[in-house]
Chains A and B, each alone.
Chain A
Amino acid sequence: MLKNSAHAKLSKSPRKLKDELVRDKPVNLNLFTIAFPVTAVASILHRISGIILFILIPYLLYVLQNIVAGTEIFMPFNKFILWIIFVPFIYHVLAGVRHVIMDLGYGEEKNIARTSALVVFVFTALISILLGYYLC
C-alpha cells in the first residue's frame, strides 16, 4: 500500500472530503461588521418586540386586575410605564400587518419591501408620539 499523502486523501470518500472543506471554510460572524438591509432590521425588531411583550404579559394582567378592582392605576408614573410598553406593541402590530400582507403575496419585491419597512418605522413613531400626547 502506498503511504504518501496523495493516496491518503484519495482513500477518503468524497463526502468526507466535502465535509472537511465545509467545516474549515472561513466565516464572519461579527455582527458589527455586517451591513444589514432595512428589512433585516425590521425583522429582528419584530422578534425583539415580541419577546419584550411576552415578558410584559404579567404586567398587563396586573393592570387589568387593578382596573377590575377599581384602584387608581392610571397615575402619571404608571401612564409613563404604559406608554413605554405601548411602543414595542405598536411596532409589533404594524410589522405584523406588514408580515401578513407579504404572506398574501403583496409587496415581496425588494424595493417595495424596503419601503414598507420604512413605512412601519415612521408610523410607529407617529402613533407613539400621538399616544404620548393623548396620555398627558
Chain B
Amino acid sequence: MLNGFNNWLLQRLSGVVLTIYTLFLVAYWMLQADSNIKIWQQLFATQWMKDFTLIALLAMLSHAWLGIWTVITDYIKMPWLRLTTQVLVAVALLMYLIWGIQILWS
C-alpha cells in the first residue's frame, strides 16, 4: 500500500482533486451577482460543501506531505536531522487536519 508507485499516483490524484475544488470555488465566485462575505458563509454552511472541503483538505495534506517529503529527502542527508524535520512536518500537517475539521464542524 505504501510504495513508490502508490505515492506517485496519490500525488497526481490529490492534485486533480485540489484542482477541481479550486475550479469550483472560482466558478462559484464568478456566478455570483454580488461579492461579499455572506455568499461564502452560506456556501460553507451547507453539509455537502463541508464534506467537499474535508476531502480537499485531506487531498491537500497528502499532496503536501509527499511533496515536502521529496524536498526533504533531496536536501537533508543527515539521518537525525532529516527524521526530525519529517516528524515536525507530519505533526504540523496533522494539526492542520484537526484544525480544519474543527473549523467546519464546531
Residues in chain A within 8 A of chain B (CB atoms) = 47, 50-51, 53-54, 57-58, 61, 64-65, 67-68, 70-74, 89, 93, 96-97, 100, 103
- Closest residue to A64 on the B side, CB-wise? B103
Give chain B residues whose Cβ lies under 8 Å from the Cβ of A47.
71
User: Are A70 and B41 in contact (CB-based, < 8 A)?
Assistant: yes
Alpha-carbon gap, A53 to B41, bound state (A): 24
Give chain B residues whose Cβ lies under 8 Å from the Cβ of A93.
18-19, 22
| Cβ contact of B44, chosen from A64, A73, A96, cutoff 8 A | A64
Residues in chain B within 8 A of chain A (CB atoms) = 12, 15, 18-19, 22, 35-38, 40-41, 44-45, 53, 60, 64, 67-68, 71, 96, 99-100, 103-104
User: Are B12 and A100 in contact (CB-based, < 8 A)?
Assistant: yes
| Cβ contact of B96, chosen from A58, A73, A89, A100, cutoff 8 A | A58
Query: What are 28 A-B pairs with beta-carbon distances under 8 A?
Result: A47-B71, A50-B71, A51-B68, A51-B71, A54-B64, A54-B67, A54-B68, A57-B60, A57-B64, A58-B96, A61-B99, A61-B100, A64-B44, A64-B53, A65-B99, A67-B37, A67-B40, A68-B41, A68-B44, A68-B45, A70-B37, A74-B36, A74-B37, A89-B22, A93-B19, A96-B19, A97-B19, A100-B15
Interface SS, A side: helix
A135 to chain B, nearest CB (A): 9
Give chain A residues whose Cβ lies under 8 Å from the Cβ of B35.
74
B54 to chain A, nearest CB (A): 11
- Closest residue to A72 on the B side, CB-wise? B37
Alpha-carbon gap, A103 to B12, bound state (A): 10
Alpha-carbon gap, A11 to B100, bound state (A): 66
Give chain A residues whose Cβ lies under 8 Å from the Cβ of B104.
64, 68
Known: A58-B96, A65-B103, A103-B12. A73 touches B37 (CB 8 A): yes
User: Are A57 and B40 in contact (CB-based, < 8 A)?
Assistant: no
Known: A54-B67, A96-B15. A67 touches B41 (CB 8 A): yes
